[in-house]
Chains A and B, each alone.
Chain A
């Protein structure tokens, strides 16, 4: 009989990036790399666990922006173009490295992986990876949860409850459309919670969410079991807290697994290492060197000098780390069980893109972990939050504390010198959107153009609200793009606002926006009323 539960939670998210107005677009690579390095490897892990009869449980968010991109035909075609180019590149690499056995073997590995990506994407799932994840949900192995529509950081949106409600309502609608049932759980963007948010979650049938550790620990009344049991908000929505110890084993600078020297190095890429003329055909239009996704070196150590990556050794290390993780969770659960009068749940949330993209061996680590959990022990049982609540329906009532999982635990990542200027505009646009929704009812607008403008205005507002833009402005990668996106969406919104009020809608302008920012075609602006 188990002494505790383990809930692994993966948060899969990318902001909506889709630029049909350009022949190719660097930032679309964010999605393509995540597909090849994270989403497809995870699907392969799930498939192999299922076919080997390993019972596993993973909770995974697929954010509405990610679902929108994964189900978008235009981006699916661009991904195929992207992976086809990579296959060509890997074929050249197999030839080029003929006289260097250690690289040659890796080149063959990449060729096989890229071909596999194409097969999984195109042949096996017909271009729609959401259907792959849905398959595992339907089998009861995966619990897919939703997220706010465009990953808006909700504590800084609280000012406009209608805007928060729209983020949740549209997410729930998007989820049901693509996954065939309403969502039961949500990953709050950046784990950002503020007291009262649960009221809106409940309206859309959401039964649980997650907070960072201090969100639960500083809850009131004081939660008896800390983060090792969920609490019910006064309205009955459950909140699960992140376990810091298991997080630390993966994230920590000192002890974290992904930094192990024999794992693959993320930054060393042939896009920078090889002769320019040779890689030129695989670069974007402007010919600037960029990562191509073929990486031959291991982390090695603190020097610039890197040793060639040895795949078998790295995979062995992933198995060792999975064993270590399991051992520590067993000890943790045993100890907690001895001092609690119920079985503890250990909630370990991670960015999904950690696995494969950043930590190349991450998917193998997950694979080993679930195999070991299944075969090698019976102290802990993998579980989803929903299953936990079914088995343990009685929990303490308390309200979590405002919190996020960002640096320092609150709103500072998204509210500081580099990005605080956005809120004046986001709040004003939200206020205007609510005003538009209140003043306009469909009866007044038999004319389809006005209705379309109202819906598009809502899309522009939603896209401007993505927390990713503020995050990028703060961290300093691709800042210009984040600023551009924020300004473009706010400007588009303001232009539509004026047109709607003046009843003079520029059809061409509207159609351009509809073609580019085509997220949530089912959206109804009245959600802001």
Chain B
């Protein structure tokens, strides 16, 4: 992100951009400060993420590529039809109401806590809070080095080990800006376990843990290598069953890479063809995006009154009168001629009156 581009934005827009990027910034931060943070954080966890410290050789090296990250970040996911249907349950056609805003939720809970959640095979999400008091004490304990120590997350690979500090497969740090905040972490490693520490890091690299997260395990994003011997079947058969499971054109076969994509739900159901009219309508928001338009319809109101106990018919059908003997009928009026025979007969069936208007509609449009 170029600094010059950022400079063009208003302070509020920069704040919004930060929110979009998942970067927490103090409400009171000034424009230049935000730009600085955005510039340094933009590529994070790439540029801000400090180098990966490997404690011992492990499978942790595999996985985690920039390509994965770009894939996961692919802009504007196509909305799936399934999602559109689920959304339609909540669609009444009405623009959002204005509610009296409910009271805000607590900004923090006074804890020293960090939590880690799995988003998908490549990404985790962390939120944390640390009290001012705790922060001051720990800074103080660091002495002079504490003055310019900064908050950081340390992401540990703890796959298949009981983490006791120091025995991880490897770790890396991410610099952060707020004592109450959150961050999306690109672990890039499916099928591995992680813990995150929230800590204070000194300029010379010392890391003091303030809070430690729960352990999470990212899901696998491919078939398991573990084959149950007892159930072993020839690979070729498995490939075919697997291909069918993946739902790709069932009888043509497909490469395993395609299947992986399909099975991961990344490909098959996106709305990609603008030619499909019905689908363009599936998103309620699209409904509003039409060009200039003009609609005109005509309706005809026929109304009258007679004795409340009289019998009235219009075009041969009996009409119910209001208690005061009046009635109103409303018709959509198409082009052409309408002959509206109306008759009223007194209750004793002695007298009958007929009134028959004729109405012609003829429409021209240009």
Please give the residue numbers on chain A whose beta carbons come within 8 Å of chain B beta carbons, in ascending order: 14, 26-27, 29-30, 33-34, 92, 95-100, 103, 155-156, 159, 195, 212-214, 216-222, 224-228, 241, 243-245, 247-248, 251-254, 256, 258-261, 263, 265-267, 269, 271-272, 275, 278, 284, 286, 288-291, 299-304, 331-332, 335-336, 339-340, 351, 353-354, 357-359, 396-398, 401-403, 405-413, 415, 417, 420-421, 423-425, 427-428, 468, 471-472, 475-481, 483-484, 487-488, 490-491, 494
Given contacts A95-B331, A254-B276, A411-B120, contact A244 B241 (CB under 8 A): no
Summarize B's interface: helix, strand, loop or mixed: loop
Q: Which 3 A-B pairs have the closest CB atoms?
A: A244-B247, A302-B277, A226-B245
Answer yes or no: B303 CB below 8 A from chain A CBs.
Answer: no
Q: Is the CB of A415 within 8 A of B125?
A: yes
Answer yes or no: B365 CB below 8 A from chain A CBs.
Answer: no
CA distance A417 to B75 in the complex (A): 13
Q: Is the CB of A299 within 8 A of B281?
A: yes
Q: Is the CB of A271 within 8 A of B278?
A: no
B-side interface residues, number (CB < 8 Å): 105
CA distance A259 to B97 in the complex (A): 30
CA distance A245 to B264 in the complex (A): 14
Which of B90, B287, B332 is the most central at the interface, judged by chain A CB atoms within 10 Å of its CB? B90
Q: Is the CB of A302 within 8 A of B280?
A: yes
Answer yes or no: B44 CB below 8 A from chain A CBs.
Answer: no
Q: Count A-B pairs with CB separation below 8 Å.
A: 311
CA distance A245 to B273 in the complex (A): 19
Given contacts A304-B290, A408-B120, contact A490 B105 (CB under 8 A): yes
Q: Is the CB of B285 within 8 A of A476?
A: yes
Q: Which residue of B lies closest to A359 (CB)?
A: B85
CA distance A511 to B95 in the complex (A): 32
Q: Other CB < 8 Å A-B pairs besides A247-B247, A428-B111, 14 of them?
A: A95-B330, A99-B332, A217-B242, A221-B224, A222-B224, A226-B241, A243-B245, A291-B92, A351-B85, A353-B89, A406-B83, A407-B77, A408-B265, A480-B97
What would 21 A/B residue contacts be, using CB atoms closer than 8 Å? Answer: A97-B332, A98-B331, A159-B117, A212-B265, A218-B263, A222-B227, A224-B228, A228-B244, A253-B273, A269-B93, A289-B94, A331-B250, A340-B241, A406-B83, A410-B118, A411-B119, A427-B115, A478-B90, A479-B96, A480-B96, A484-B101
Q: Is the CB of B263 within 8 A of A159?
A: no
Of A217, A228, A271, A398, the contact of B93 (CB 8 Å cutoff):
A271
Q: Is the CB of A218 within 8 A of B224?
A: yes
Of A219, A261, A353, A421, the contact of B278 (CB 8 Å cutoff):
A261
Answer yes or no: B355 CB below 8 A from chain A CBs.
Answer: no
Chain A residues contacting B231 (CB-CB under 8 Å) are 221, 224, 396
Q: Is the CB of B77 within 8 A of A417?
A: no
Nearest CB in chain A: distance from B31 CB, A: 22
Nearest CB in chain B: distance from A196 CB, A: 10
Nearest CB in chain B: distance from A268 CB, A: 9
Chain A residues contacting B86 (CB-CB under 8 Å) are 351, 353, 471
Answer yes or no: B233 CB below 8 A from chain A CBs.
Answer: yes
Chain B residues contacting A244 (CB-CB under 8 Å) are 245-247, 262-263, 268
Chain B residues contacting A278 (CB-CB under 8 Å) are 299, 330
Q: Is the CB of B80 within 8 A of A407?
A: yes
Q: Which residue of B lies closest to A428 (CB)?
A: B109
Contact with A along B97-117 (1 / 0, CB 8 A): 111011111100101000101
CA distance A272 to B94 in the complex (A): 10
